[in-house]
Structure 1
């Protein structure tokens, strides 16, 4: 029996975020180049996006490329950007077929023009879809996001568009990249690392964290189901006592 059959569809997380880690190690274990791992990681993306859509997950955010990743060897960065352009071009028909809408968060201006062009076209071509919202975090880091938000808030205060006393959590959220989306309830990280790596630091305040030793190219729907079952086994208290939640 699949783990999927054990999932309570009435208690699905609305938003799942995933740190897709382990492509390089997966390739190294096979005596291959790191880009070989990234190429096979795309298969996992397809599989997990399909699995999330089938379940009825509303939002799925994938941490695909961080601002810190620009410091990797030039050949790897170039290869990743080429893979990004090629993948987006190929996947748009499938996204439309499955009613999936694409979004992108991050410092997109740092991406090559070819990648920005493909992303813009894909976002436009899927904009009418009403199923799963697939959010790709590209050239993204949470500290960059928060720093940018603070600057924009300061500019609006200076221009008398915003009063300091009006700033609260809701206002801050509107200045983040994820203003259109609810906060993730479940964050998954693959490859056995136990850290958040500058990913959605503000938004993950009350998310349940699930860590797995599975490397990203080996991560499939059954692994996703296991993470969701782990999420559903937990009591989400949001600062309250267990007795308060149950009552």
Structure 2
């Protein structure tokens, strides 16, 4: 950290993309003695606050980790409820986001989504594709390893079909085959609930991201918590494997 606060250079550094691991809905509900589903519903409200704050901050991209490939292991009733929340998002929030110029993208494997949900995803993306404002990426049925495997398989098919020289496969080629192919890498990854792990989230893209771990549960995440995480980010010196100028001078 910088003594006395961030430098002028750090304060002026653009923050384009924030990704958030929304964790703690269940524990929030348990501590309050309310149904677990209430925790998920309050988590939706927190997601709305996060998107609004990201817009106020002028972020070009915000990515929310809402349902992982591992979440299928949860009880059937809970999985059905989480699927229902995504449906409700399309029904209740999409029109407003579209009017505000937000582009909506869904990250993750769509092949195993329930009937009808995949069509809603495609329609939401098509409806907002031409929007040039903020991009909201929702990672749903998403896993970082799965994404990389799917990208590698895509490149392998192109190589087998003669469309791609295997020797031409480099970082840029793999990046272009990912779900996030036209998005900048996240500058900042936030995780709530006090856990300090990335849980298979944006493994490739977050290689040089800054991480901030907050103790609050996701339903309690609001503007103040978002700004606190951004302030922590601003106070860090990002060197991307390089050295500080003072170290080089010495």
Does TM-score exceed 0.5, indicating one fold? yes
Aligned equivalents of 1:176 and 1:92: distance in 2?
24
Residues 163-174 of structure 1: matches in 2 within 5 Å?
A: 163-174=165-176
Correspondence for 1:183: 185
Does residue 112 of the first structure (1) align with residue 114 of the second (2)?
yes
Separation in structure 2 between the aligned mates of residue 9 and residue 105 of structure 1, nearest angstrom: 31
Cα distance in 2 between the residues matched to 1:10 and 1:117: 41
Change (3 A) 1:123 1:45: same
Structure 1 residue 10 displacement after superposition: 3.9
Match of 2:4 in 1: none
The separation in 1 between residues aligned to 2:247 and 2:209, in whole angstroms, is 17
Instruction: Give the superposition deviation at 1:12.
Output: 3.6
Aligned-residue CA RMSD (Å): 1.8
For residue 13 of structure 1, report the CA deviation from its aligned partner: 1.5
Equivalent residue, structure 2, for 1:210: 212
Alignment of 1:139-158 (within 5 A): 139-158=141-160
Between 1:60-69 and 1:123-132, the stretch displaced more is 123-132
Q: Write the distance in 1 (CA, Å) between the matches of 2:164 and 2:197.
A: 35
Q: What SS does the corresponding residue of 2:44 show, helix, strand or coil?
A: helix
Q: Secondary structure at the match of 1:110?
A: coil
Give the aligned partner of residue 4 of structure 1: none
Alignment CA distance shift 1:127-1:245 (3 Å) = farther
In structure 2, the partner of 1:3 is none
Q: Distance in 2 between matches of 1:117 and 1:200?
A: 24
Q: How many residues align?
A: 240
**What CA distance in whole angstroms lies between the structure 2 residues aligned with 1:129 and 1:17?**
20
Aligned partner (choices 179, 199, 203) of residue 201 of structure 1? 203
Runs of 5+ unmatched residues, structure 2: 1-9
Query: CA separation in 2, counterparts of 1:92 and 1:138?
Result: 16
| Equivalent residues of 1:89, 1:118 under 8 A apart | no
Distance 2:99 2:13 in 1: 26
Q: Return 5+ residue gaps in structure 1 as ranges.
A: 1-7
Task: Give 1:127 deviation, angstroms.
Answer: 2.2
Cα gap change, 1:128 to 1:152, in 2 (>3 Å): closer
- In structure 2, relative to structure 1, the CA distance for the partners of 1:10 and 1:243 (3 Å cut) is closer
Q: Counterpart of 2:68? A: 66
> Residues 55 and 29 (structure 1 numbering): CA distance in 2 closer, same or farther, change over 3 Å?
same
What aligned pairs does 1:202-241 form with structure 2 within 5 A after superposition?
Answer: 202-241=204-243
Query: In 2 relative to 1, CA 242–150 (structure 1 residues): closer, same or farther, beyond 3 Å?
Result: same
In the TM superposition, what is the alpha-carbon distance from 1:51 to its structure 2 partner? 0.6
Counterpart residue number, 1:88: 90
Cα distance in 1, alignment partners of residues 21 and 38 from structure 2? 19
Match of 1:43 in 2: 45
Task: Give the Cα–Cα distance (whole angstroms) in 2 for the partners of residues 84 and 154 of structure 1.
Answer: 32
